[in-house]
Amino acid sequence: MIRWFGCALVFWGTLAIAEQGPADAALAASDRLEQASVLLEQASGSRDQVAALTETVQAYEEGLIALRDGLRRATVRQQALETELNAKRAEIGRLLGVLETMGRAPAPLLLLHPSGPTGTARSGMILAEVTPALKAEADALRSQLEEVAVLRQLQDNAAETLRKGLDGAQRARAELSAAIQDRTDLPQRFTEDPVQTALLIASTETLDAFASGLAETVSDLPQGAAPDATDLKGALSLPVQGRIVWGFNEEDMGGMKRPGIILGAQPRSLVTTPVAATVRFRGPLLDFGNVIILEPAADVLFIFAGLAEVFGEAGQILPAGAPIGLMGGEIPPVDAILTETSAGSGPRATESLYLEVREGQGPVDPATWFAME
């Protein structure tokens, strides 16, 4: 329930930023990064450091994504405003000239007309009609100029804000990795037989064969109750912030089909388990890179492949939302990020996470368990 509430806050917070103006969205993202720095300072005193640091890393990731999106939108808006103001340069000059003339002339003189009282009355009526229009146009111009000034100030401060956010996120990831290494409070459902695991890896050539032989790697009988997430089928959140690049059994650009989905994520993104699950395997496997296999229910496996780092040990029961790894890749430097935003482009999802779901002896569409939208 707590995790759902936290996810809802993130969703509505992100939605609120998306609905704000570019300047407000960038400022709100900066505030979120400041809040993440506070969370990082508080995490050291938390009873559950892993949970606190996981929340901190996610807060940094969300803040940085929102900031980059806000800066991109601010750049686009600034360019549009400056183009519009340049196109209206002559019109603005005439407006300023009229306003300056009206400001210098005394009020009685403005109402005098050489044709006498009737002309004076008519000129007064015309002036009464024109003045509000001129004022409205002047107010609109002032508002646009003020917005350009704010957007330029955002651009000037962006480098320092980004640098602090990236440094904080890096520190939070490092502290999270250390806290996971020191963790001793997770229940252990079984003990892995490393010899049998090594033999299984050496004797199998496919992920399907390895998954089918996982039962051989358990050195003792399972202890305690196993997690059972069957009631949550179809409603699980995806394990990483990103987008679906290739769907289930969808043919990629090379003509290859996979019995799973590929998620595009940003470098060093945190990957978490969407539900409580037993770790069945973690480590390098075949040509998939680092792999972690979770069992959220009897005869059900979630396979995550392509991580740079994996967390947890075989046999442990992880709670929902627990970190299971980090994506690889290199985070672009601040100058490169600012170049992207000034060109109107957002952060690129350069890393790929493979997600496969198996029920019984075969893979099924991950949409059976995960809410793909």
Note whether 99 and 205 are same-domain residues.
no
Q: Which of 189, 188, 195, 192 is nearest to 215 (CA)?
A: 192
- The answer to whether residue 67 sits within a structural domain is yes
Note whether 177 and 234 are same-domain residues.
no
Is the pLDDT confidence value at 109 over 80? no
* pLDDT digits 0-9 by tens, 250-293: 988 888 889 999 999 999 999 999 999 999 999 999 889 999 99
Give the model's pLDDT for residue 239.
Answer: 96
Q: Which amino acid appears at position 113 of this protein?
A: H
Give the residue numbers spanning the domain of 54.
2-181
H/E segment holding residue 40: helix 22-43
For residues 241-277, b (16+ Cβ closer than 10 Å) or e, as one string? bbebebbbeeeeeeeeebbbbbbbbbbbbbbbbbbbb
Note whether 198 and 295 are same-domain residues.
yes
Say if CB 349 and CB 243 are below 8 A apart.
yes
Note whether 154 and 198 are same-domain residues.
no
Q: How many CB atoms lie within 10 A of CB 179?
A: 21
Note whether 228 and 362 are same-domain residues.
yes
Mean pLDDT along residues 94-115: 51
- The answer to whether residue 99 sits within a structural domain is yes
- The answer to whether residue 188 sits within a structural domain is no
- The answer to whether residue 373 sits within a structural domain is no
Torsion sign over Cα 332, 333, 335, 337 = positive
Give the model's pLDDT for residue 96.
Answer: 56
Which CATH number goes with the domain that contains 213? 2.70.70.10
Give the model's pLDDT for residue 6.
Answer: 39
Give the model's pLDDT for residue 13.
Answer: 43
* pLDDT digits 0-9 by tens, 141-200: 666 566 666 666 667 777 888 899 999 999 999 999 999 988 888 999 888 999 999 999
* pLDDT digits 0-9 by tens, 188-229: 988 899 999 999 999 999 998 999 899 888 877 666 678 999
Give the residue from 131, 152, 181 where a domain finishes: 181
* pLDDT digits 0-9 by tens, 43-77: 877 778 999 999 999 999 999 888 888 778 777 77
Q: Which amino acid appears at position 156 of this protein?
A: D
Give the model's pLDDT for residue 80.
Answer: 75
Note whether 241 and 339 are same-domain residues.
yes
What value does the mean pLDDT of the chain take?
80
- The answer to whether residue 284 sits within a structural domain is yes
The Cα 5–Cα 7 span in angstroms is: 5
Strand blocks (E) in the chain: 242-246, 261-265, 270-272, 277-284, 290-297, 300-307, 309-310, 317-318, 323-326, 351-359, 362-364
Give the model's pLDDT for residue 272.
Answer: 97
Is the pLDDT confidence value at 315 over 70? yes
Q: Which are the contacts of 92, defined by CB distance < 8 A and separation ≥ 6?
A: 85, 141
| Phi-psi label, residue 201: left if phi above 0, alpha if psi -120 to 50, beta otherwise | alpha
